[in-house]
Amino acid sequence: MGNVAVELKIMPKSIETDIIKIKEEISKKMKIQDSKIEPVAFGLKALRILVIVPDKENEDIESKIKNIKGVSEVETESVTLV
């Protein structure tokens, strides 16, 4: 097949969780094309990332990120064929 661009929204476990460390851990597992931190509510911030992976690896991304310490939830926002 080809590659897909996957946009993910990652929520930390609490407002004390260092979201920059989460981003660093993700970048050790996959190449982040783009990222931004956006406020959610009451001091909680979400990390949005864009990664490009082979089509077959798309399903494993969420589970890889969920295993990172400090990550509460991972949601796939969009998947686009590149």
Q: What is the pLDDT of residues 11-33, one digit of tens each?
A: 999 999 999 999 999 999 889 99
Q: Does 4 score more than 80 pLDDT?
A: yes
What was the pLDDT predicted at 14?
Answer: 93
Residue among 10, 1, 14 at smallest CA distance from 53: 1
Q: How far apart are CA 3 and CA 53, in angstroms?
A: 5
Q: What is the pLDDT of residues 33-70, one digit of tens each?
A: 999 999 999 999 999 999 998 887 777 898 999 999 99
Strands (E), 1-82: 3-12, 32-41, 44-54, 71-81
Q: Are 30 and 64 in contact (CB under 8 A)?
A: yes
What was the pLDDT predicted at 11?
Answer: 97
Q: Does 1 score more than 90 pLDDT?
A: no
Q: Please report, as a single letter, which amino acid is at residue 18.
A: D
